[in-house]
Amino acid sequence: MDADAISDLFSGLGPVSIRRMFGGKGIYFDGVIIAVELRGELMLKGDATVAPEYEAAGATQWTYVHSRHGKSVAMPYWSLPDGAADSADEMEPWARKAYEAGIRAGKG
C-alpha cells in the first residue's frame, strides 16, 4: 500500500504521517503511532481495552514465534477489522480506537 492510499484510508481521522520502520511503515496521527504496514499487511495499534472489539469485528492479533526460545510472542497490533479497508468512513472509528490505544501505551 503506497503512502497516498494509506493517507486516503485514514483521512476520516485526519492527516497522518508515514515513516519507514522495520522494513515496513509506521503510521502516525498527532505524533502517536496508530498502525504499521509490514509485508503488505496493514495492522492497527491495540491493547487490552480495544482487543475485544477488534476480535468481535474479525481482527486477529499479530503474533510470531521467537527465534531464540521458540515461544509465540503477541505484538500490540491487529489485522484490520472486517470492512475497515473498504473506505475512509469504515476505517475512521477503528483508527480512533487505534489512536486511543496509542495514547494509552504512551502513558505507561
With a cut of 50, say whether residue 108 has pLDDT above it. Answer: no
- Residue 68's pLDDT is 87
Number of residues that make up the chain:
108
Q: For the segment 35-73, what is each residue's pLDDT rounded down to a tens digit? A: 999 988 999 999 999 999 999 999 999 998 888 888 999
Q: Which three cell numbers stand for residue 101?
A: 490505544
Q: For the segment 74-102, what is each residue's pLDDT rounded down to a tens digit? A: 999 999 999 999 999 999 999 999 999 99
Spell out the alpha helix ranges (H) of the chain.
Answer: 3-9, 51-56, 88-106
How does strand 41-45 pair with strand 72-79?
A: antiparallel
More confident residue, 22 or 12: 12
